[in-house]
Structure 1
Amino acid sequence: MQTATGVTFRDATDADVDELVALVESAYRGEASRAGWTTEADILDGRRTDPESVLAVVRSPGSRLLTVERDGRIVACCQLEHRGEYAYFGMFAVSPALQGGGLGKAVLAQAERQAREMWGVTRMHMTVISVRDDLIAWYERRGYRRTGRTSPFPYGDERFGIPRRDDLRFELLVKELG
């Protein structure tokens, strides 16, 4: 679906996996991620995702990897997963060069619309690393609220990165979709 912002939304396919992994890595890890504001480079080393994990999301029933293209390039993505009464939002990435220009806001709004339309859910859940104050504030400005419910960071499981500090945990954020 083409939008006024000049981007096209579609579901990811197996053929997109390598480009999606590169996008997610560029938005969160390493020096390239510092071009945007969503970097986790100061709190985590290692990988953010891998081809197997992305392919699992693409192929999972009840899950979608919403892919956003501009001029034939994938510039953003997010995972939507149906979890009964709510949808889970994750693997959100916007190309660092395009961050701060409203694309992320448009992707989030589209994801919320699609979750309501596809699954009839009235709430969106996500987890954010609790020390990511700027990112949490961004979500709060879009109607998400902190629940105070946390889960431990999986220290020792390098699929989630290699922590550079010992106080990481995930906090659940929730939005009523109405």
Structure 2
Amino acid sequence: MNQEALTFRAATAADIDAIVALAESAYRGDSGRRGWTTESDLLGGRRTGPDEIEDFLCKPRSMVLLGELGDPPALVACAHIAAHDEVGYLGLFTVDPTLQGAGIGKRVLEEAERIVRDDWRLSTIEMTVINVREELIQYYLRRGFRRTGKFLPFPYGDARFGLPKRDDLSFEVLEKTL
């Protein structure tokens, strides 16, 4: 697919199942191993669920940004963006594992940052990354994020966040000035 034809739109309730399927394919199980973002060696269980996506869609200044290719448009990427106090938040950043490395993620990240900066008038965006995902952290550092030195505990025992295969997980907070 020609990534030049990538289009963006805000998700609706009709997109929930497709968003869940995309995230699960990229982060869990064998399908995620086709790309480099898999968490399969760290976590089992779910990555996200319809309940979480619906919650994202119902909150003010919260959206799931969709990236689509083709005619008819096919979902190939997504990112949850939200405003928390006076800071933007980026999460659920997902690109179809078979299309990773083609520049789609960079374009989705740029669009998410544009919305947070231009539409919501926020000057900072932050995200959390599992602390042992150094390759992923380096990806974000190359795109202007910086390490804050802040870490949040991993919610062990809460299956909504996955089933940990290690006991040393936490979330590292990264931020970027827009």
Alignment of 1:125-164 (within 5 A): 125-164=126-165
Q: Which amino acid aligns with 2:98?
A: A
User: Aligned letter for 1:111?
Assistant: A
Aligned twin of 1:51: 50
Tell me how far 1:60 sits from its aligned partner: 1.4
1:123 Cα deviation (Å)?
0.5
- Which segment is superposed worse, 56-65 or 145-154? 56-65
User: Residue type of the partner of 2:54?
Assistant: L
Give the Cα separation in 2 of the matches to 1:160 and 1:102. Answer: 28
What is the DSSP-based 3-state SS (H/G/I as helix, E as strand, rest coil) of the residue aligned with 1:48?
coil
TM-score (norm 2): 0.96
Superposed displacement of residue 84, structure 1 = 2.5
**Partner residue in 2 for 1:171:** 172
Residue of structure 2 in register with 1:60 after alignment:
59
Alpha-carbon shift at residue 58 of structure 1 (Å): 1.5
Secondary structure in structure 2 of the residue aligned to 1:18: helix
What is the distance in 1 between the residues matched to 2:162 and 2:85? 29
Runs of 4+ in 1 over 4 A off after TM superposition: none
The aligned counterpart of 1:36 is 35
How does the TM-score come out when normalised to structure 1? 0.96
**Is 1:84 the counterpart of 2:103 in the alignment?**
no
Q: Distance in 2 between matches of 1:38 and 1:149?
A: 22
- Counterpart secondary structure, 1:65: strand
Instruction: Look up the match of 1:123.
Output: 124
Q: Which runs of 5+ in 2 are unaligned?
A: none
| Deviations 1:57-109 (CA, angstroms, capped at 9, x unpaired) | 11211101101111111100001101232100011110001101110011101
Q: In the alignment, does 2:38 pair up with 1:17? A: no
| 1:104 corresponds to 2:105 | yes
Rounded to whole Å, the distance in 2 between the matches of 1:96 and 1:68 is 14
Taking only aligned residues, the RMSD between alpha carbons, in angstroms, comes to 1.2
Provide the rounded CA distance (Å) in 1 between the counterparts of 2:13 and 2:171.
Answer: 29
Separation in 1 of the partners of 2:48 and 2:86?
Answer: 27
Identity of aligned residues (%): 52
SS in structure 1 opposite 2:102? coil
Total equivalences in the alignment: 175
Q: Give 3-state SS (helix, strand or coil) of 1:126's partner.
A: strand
| CA deviation map 1:150-174 (0-9, x unaligned) | 0100000000000000000001000
Q: Determine helix, strand or coil for the equivalent of 1:5.
A: helix
Cα shift readout 1:32-78 (whole Å, capped 9, x = no counterpart): 00000000001000000011111111121110110111111110000
